[in-house]
A and B are shown apart, each in its own frame.
Chain A
């Protein structure tokens, strides 16, 4: 079955949102872990053993397990999604740990991401930010002919880079200010770079930035730890674009006036 390793495992356990939490030592349940296992499979193995030992299994989020849904994510030894660059927790494999290595596993920490249980946090703040502008109001059809709307290759590629954001929240977890600037900037950048999104640019940036503030995220002070933690390597240049678009929108945007019936 190939190589296995033993780990010194500490996991954050917290029974509910307002319950006190603490690290539990699960070294005993973290022995003989196959190096081919992903980090989530590793937690699965530990959970099976915990269940057999009559201990409540560790709660953690996951879905696709192939690095595309953005559901998984824990902080491993102080790093969101662990030590590997551009890798989600589900795509992180145990061969990247040394035999006998000490591992501390914690949830994302930010006021706007309250802990639900153990390693699970409530990221619905992201959904509300999307509701505040992360869409195009008019239906623009599905998959138009490739040449119906001309978009320069460069622009299309960049918009695609921004759209790579899976909304996992690692940027917030990494930020010393608990800011979701990288997430908001990526979503804004994706829409605002493309002709379908441009007509609503001002409203979108004002709406989403406002919602970001209301959710209690902090502001950006240019530490760029988000970019380093992002499993999709979203660039902080999108934050610069968000700042520019927000400043411009604040200066020039006037909400649309209700049109009266008829003319004049």
Chain B
């Protein structure tokens, strides 16, 4: 057996795909805890801003997490693009009729697996936008004051196109993960008739929490269901905010 010339793990499609799955799980895990944290927006301004401050008080943890996520995201995207290019090379010509509908496969499932690269790229654009919006505060025209996480979020979501983009991107994330939460067990070989249904149900529940939270927040913000107590004009918040600052100092 040609064992002396075996390709190194990361040069094979299986190895690359395993890394896609592992980095996918890392991103999955972050998205889950991030969503749980964000649910605190429903506890009100105090609680949410305190939570944000609490995170900011642990810069080492924050930066370590950012580093891991950045490496995971880059690895995920680079490998996925490489795999897609390779797949395209391996299938240079197409059939007169493209893939026929297999009636046993649901429409959602079929659509999800066919659009992984597209949904992924839109998610990537969304991640960049989201960071620019609420971490860096560099989206022109959108309210941002460092330390006012609650206000930044609420005023952002009151802008219809912003809420719409958050909504759209998170529905796509749901589609991405609908394929992903089945695929990752297959890719890593973690399948067994005894576990298959349970592991899929678990991954699907986590997906539901992520997508549910991320979809409810923009809707609640846009309809004033959450943050309705904030004045329509953000400048007022700034003024009262300054007053409070001077009072507390």
Contact = CB atoms under 8 A, between A and B. Distances in A.
Interface stretch (B12-20, B36-44, B137-145, B220-228): B12-20
A133 B94 contact: no
A207 interface: yes
Interface residues of B, number: 45
A222 B11 CA distance: 19
B188 A223 contact: no
Among A109, A112, A225, A240, the one with the most B-chain Cβ atoms within 10 Å of its Cβ is: A240
Interface string A1-28: 0000000001000000000000100000
Interface in A209-234: 209-211, 213-214, 216-223, 225, 228
A14 to B, nearest CB: 11
A110 B14 contact: no
Contacts of B102: 225, 228
B176 to A, nearest CB: 13
Interface in B5-47: 5-7, 9, 11-18
B61 interface: no
Contacts of A209: 7, 12, 14
B151 to A, nearest CB: 42
B57 interface: no
A217 B97 contact: no
B239 interface: no
B127 to A, nearest CB: 22
B187 interface: yes
Give the interface centre of A213, A243, A246 by most chain B CB atoms within 10 Å.
Answer: A243
B175 to A, nearest CB: 14
A219 B16 contact: yes
Interface stretch (B66-74, B81-89, B162-170, B210-218): B81-89
B107 interface: no
B182 interface: yes
A155 B14 CA distance: 25
Interface in A77-125: 77-79, 104, 106, 109-112
A179 B13 contact: yes
Given A78-B97, A240-B185, A243-B186, A218 B14 contact: no
A204 B83 CA distance: 24
Nearest to B89: A111
Contact of B90 (A104, A178, A210, A245): A178
A112 B100 CA distance: 23
B50 to A, nearest CB: 42
Nearest to B196: A237
A186 interface: no
Contacts of A203: 1, 3
A213 B186 contact: no
Contacts of B15: 246-247, 250
Contacts of B229: none
Contacts of A110: 90-91
B13 A246 contact: no
A247 B189 contact: yes
B4 A255 contact: yes
Contacts of B90: 110-112, 177-179, 216-218
A118 to B, nearest CB: 14
Contacts of B87: 176-179, 218-219, 221
A200 B3 CA distance: 11
A168 interface: no
A210 B91 contact: no
B97 A77 contact: yes
Contact of B92 (A111, A132, A207): A111
6 contacts: A77-B97, A78-B98, A111-B92, A132-B1, A221-B113, A225-B99
